Every structure is written in C-alpha cells, then in structure tokens.
Amino acid sequence: MSEAEPAADAADGGLGGIDAEEFERLVVDELDLLPDDMVEGLDNVVFVTEDRPEDGSLDLLGLYDGVALTERGQYGFGELPDRIILYREPHVASCDSLDELKDQIHITLVHEIAHYYGIDDHQLHELGWA
C-alpha cells in the first residue's frame, strides 16, 4: 500500500469507498430488480438507509419497523408509514466485493419486505431467506 492510499477500515470489508449516497443508490437499484408482485403490494412503506443500528452494532443488516399486514386491524388515512431500514456499515463490513454487497442488499430487502407481509424469521429460514 502506498502512502497515498488510505487503509480500508477493518469494519468495512475493504469496500471503504461505499459512502451513504452510493449505498442508497445500490439499495434503489436492487429494489428496482425485485419482482413486481413483491413490491406492488407494499402500501405506505418507505425505504430508509442509515449507517448503523441505534446500538451501534454491526450485527443487524436491516429492520422492518411497522405493523405486518397480517397484524393490522384498522389501518388507513393518517397512519405513519412503515419503514424498511437497511444499514450501510453492517452490509459493507460483511461483504468482500461489490457483487457480494449487491447480493446481500437484495437478500435483506426480500427479508424485510417478507416481514411486512407477515412472514416471520422462522418461515424465512425455512425458505432460505434468513
């Protein structure tokens, strides 16, 4: 490594050049690649990217923050949107290449969208998405 090249942060898996803006673009690109029947049913959901979970850990890649369709009673006008959050630093730390990062973003999107539809972690594990 030359002195002109900064060392990659140990927590970023060597993908240190993936800043928040680039990560968000990758998430949007992967979201666009999901099947229409998976995303067309999403109602009042926003996708958010953040650097890390509130506890600062690198263990959590994503989070569904809302009420699953299967758990909703009265739901309608005036409700705050559900959120699907993807965490940049844990994703980057867990991947060794850009292709691996894209794949992991894709998997995380499917996993969190499944929670929106009421599919729990046990079912996701059985389906190979956990």
The residue ranking higher by pLDDT, 46 or 3, is 46
**How much is the pTM?**
0.84
Note the pLDDT tens digit of each residue in 13-56: 467 789 999 999 999 999 999 999 999 999 889 999 999 999 99
Q: Are 90 and 11 in contact (CB under 8 A)?
A: no
Note the pLDDT tens digit of each residue in 73-110: 766 666 789 999 999 999 999 999 999 999 999 999 99
Is residue 7 over pLDDT 60? no
Please state which of the four CATH numbers 3.30.2010.20, 3.40.50.1220, 2.40.50.140, 3.40.190.10 is assigned to the domain occupying 14-127.
3.30.2010.20
